[in-house]
Structure 1
Amino acid sequence: MTDRASARAAKSALSQRLAADPDVVGVGLARRDSGYVVKVDLADAHAVARVPGDVDGVRVVTEVIGVVRPL
C-alpha cells in the first residue's frame, strides 16, 4: 500500500521526467486497491514503453486516452 505523500513525490519526479514527451497528456494520482498509484494518460499506445512501471517504489499505471484538444 502506497500512501498519498509517497505517491505525490513519485508523481512530481515522473512529471519532470516525462515533461518533454508529446504523447504524455496527463500525470495524476489514482486510488488502487487500498493505496495510491501514479496514473499517466497517453495520446498513443506506442508511448507505453517509455513509461516506467514504478517510480521510487510507487506503482505507475497508464491509460491511452488519445489526444487532448481544447473545446
Structure 2
Amino acid sequence: MTDRASARAAKSALTERLAADPAVVGVGLARRESGYVVKVNLADAGAAGRVPRDVDGVRVVTEVVGAVRAV
C-alpha cells in the first residue's frame, strides 16, 4: 500500500520530468484499493507511452481527458 507522503514525493518528481510535454495536461493523486497512485491526465492517447508506469515505487496511471482550455 502506498501512503500519501510517498505518492506526493513521486508526483513532484514526475511533474518536473513531464513539465515540457504539451500532451500532459495535469498531474495529481488518486486513491485506489492499494493506496495512492499518481494520476497523469493526457490530451491524447499517443502520449501514454512517454509516461512511466511507476516512479520511486509508486504506481502511475494515465487517463485521456482531452485538451484543457481556460474558460
Identity %: 82
Q: Distance in 2 between matches of 1:17 and 1:10?
A: 11
Q: Distance in 2 between matches of 1:65 and 1:34?
A: 23
| TM-score (structure 2 length as normaliser) | 0.98
Please give the root-mean-square deviation of Cα atoms over the aligned residues, in Å: 0.5
Q: How many residues align?
A: 71
| TM-score (structure 1 length as normaliser) | 0.98
Structure-2 residue corresponding to 1:67: 67
Structure-1 residue corresponding to 2:56: 56
Within a 5 Å distance, the mapping from 1:1-71 to structure 2 comes to 1-71=1-71
Q: Distance in 2 between matches of 1:60 and 1:45?
A: 15
Q: Distance in 2 between matches of 1:34 and 1:19?
A: 27
Return the offset for 1:34: 4.0
| Runs (5+) with no aligned partner, structure 2 | none
**Post-superposition, which runs of at least 4 consecutive aligned residues in structure 1 deviate over 6 A?**
none
Q: Distance in 2 between matches of 1:15 and 1:40?
A: 9
| Runs (5+) with no aligned partner, structure 1 | none
